[in-house]
Structure 1
Amino acid sequence: MSNIKALNWRYATKKFDESRVLPKEKIEVLKHAFNLTATSYGLQPLKMLVISNKELQKKLRNFSFDQPQVDSASHVLVICIEDKVDEQFITDYFKRVKHVRETPEEILKPFHEFLVNDFKTKEVEEIEAWAINQAYLALGTLLTVCAAEEIDACPMEGFEPQKYDEFLDLHDKNLRSVLVLPVGYRSQDDMFSKFKKVRRPLDEVIINID
């Protein structure tokens, strides 16, 4: 499927086929896509829960404004932000860079020090807002990959993050839930799958500067 055809194919799935489960290889693709998503400075202040326990999904539906996608989907992905992006977090990132790329310390040190000092000047709320932006970047990547892999998905902001955090013990993991993405296969009787896409005309949203 071409990229544009795949993006036309995708939609926010309202009803999943509960009898169909995504194969492990498809879930692995989504895990890798999440890990490869672009993030500011490459810091990855994110983690993702992959939930396939039906009893758990049913309970999470209670904290998702009773949206049926949560317990009817094959899997539920919960995108979370790290509670702390501090000096140690940044230092760990540069250790990975040094290990993977074998970059000399003298080259990494100036940028390492800049980021540490820059984040020290930011308020907690500012860092949280920055991390949430990274979560949306990851969501965009996942939705695009889902379309390319013919995996149906429904991006959701409509849930109670604090209750998710409590129920999934995210506080103990130093995480906070930001977005929920049920994934699976659309039900054949989901009428929304037949709807034509409604988008502004291309010439209204694209500005060409020659």
Structure 2
Amino acid sequence: MNKIVESLEWRYASKRMNGKKVPAEKINNILEAIRLAPSSMGLQPYTVLVIEDEELKKKIQPIAMNQPQIVESSHLLVFAAWHNITPEHIGEYISHTATVRNMQEEALSDFKNTLLSIAENNTQEQNFTWAAKQAYIAFGTALVAAAAEEVDATPMEGFNNAALDELLNLKEMGLRSVTLMPLGYRDTENDWLANLPKVRRQKEKLFILQ
């Protein structure tokens, strides 16, 4: 079986974790996969907070419907999208691109103007929605990367975004929370889902071949 398919067959959304720490190398591999994830125009309009502090996780738990994985996890990832796409964001991205590719910024002027036009012609909320969609691509990439490392990862949308933003001072950073991902190891004795077969739609219903 293909390694990726094998890893995805192994993974599930763990409902309980055992508190065991994930080795730094595995965490770094997951974070690097997030960094390498694709995004529209390559802008990556989001930031990922990596939370290990146990006291902070305890404060987040009631904001996230008291889900136990928050405090039982080794690390908690918070995917936060940019509140708006600004000329400063775009200018920094263009400058970084020119540096990495050893080229003059002027050679990227058409690309820069395209990005500026898109951002300026959208409302702030439209820009945030677009940024959040890009964050979800990185989020999905992280789930696959965690599975490849045999690290459990639970995708979470069930939390009070506004309360989390306030707790983490995300507004001051120009960010709004989108999703959460506890990383850790499954507690098979206390997780009702751990030994149940994976349920997915049948291939013939999911795919249309034309």
Q: Is 1:180–2:180 an aligned residue pair?
A: yes
Alignment partners' CA distance in 1, 2:207 and 2:84: 38
Alignment partners' CA distance in 1, 2:120 and 2:59: 39
Change over 3 Å in CA distance of 1:172–1:192 after alignment to 2: same
What are the residue-to-residue correspondences of 1:121-132 with 2, within 5 Å?
Answer: 121-132=121-132
CA shift, 1:184, in A, is: 0.3
CA shift, 1:138, in A, is: 1.0
Q: Is 1:58–2:58 an aligned residue pair?
A: yes
The equivalent residue for 1:133 is: 133
Q: Is the 8 A contact 2:84 2:125 kept in 1?
A: no
Alignment partners' CA distance in 2, 1:68 and 1:50: 18
The equivalent residue for 1:207 is: 208
- Count residues in correspondence: 208
The equivalent residue for 2:26 is: 26
Q: Is the 8 A contact 2:188 2:195 kept in 1?
A: no
Equivalent residue letter for 1:194? N
Deviations 1:74-108 (A, max 9, x none): 11100001123111111111111110012344431
**Fraction of identical pairs, as percent:** 38
Alignment partners' CA distance in 1, 2:95 and 2:103: 10
The equivalent residue for 1:42 is: 42
The equivalent residue for 1:108 is: 108
CA shift, 1:186, in A, is: 0.4
Equivalent residue letter for 2:13? A
The equivalent residue for 1:152 is: 152
Deviations 1:102-137 (A, max 9, x none): 234443111111211221111111111101101111
Change over 3 Å in CA distance of 1:194–1:167 after alignment to 2: same
Alignment partners' CA distance in 1, 2:67 and 2:7: 25
Alignment partners' CA distance in 2, 1:118 and 1:48: 24
The equivalent residue for 1:16 is: 17
Equivalent residue letter for 1:207? I
Alignment partners' CA distance in 1, 2:74 and 2:202: 35
The equivalent residue for 1:165 is: 165
Helix, strand or coil for the counterpart of 1:181? strand
Alignment partners' CA distance in 2, 1:44 and 1:76: 20
Equivalent residue letter for 2:74? S
Alignment partners' CA distance in 1, 2:114 and 2:173: 28
CA shift, 1:161, in A, is: 0.9
Equivalent residue letter for 1:15? R
Helix, strand or coil for the counterpart of 2:194? helix
Alignment partners' CA distance in 1, 2:27 and 2:116: 35
Give the RMSD, CA atoms, in angstroms.
1.3
Alignment partners' CA distance in 2, 1:191 and 1:115: 47
Alignment partners' CA distance in 2, 1:86 and 1:59: 31
TM-score, normalised relative to structure 1: 0.95
Alignment partners' CA distance in 2, 1:105 and 1:151: 41
Gaps (5+ residues) in structure 2? none
TM-score, normalised relative to structure 2: 0.95
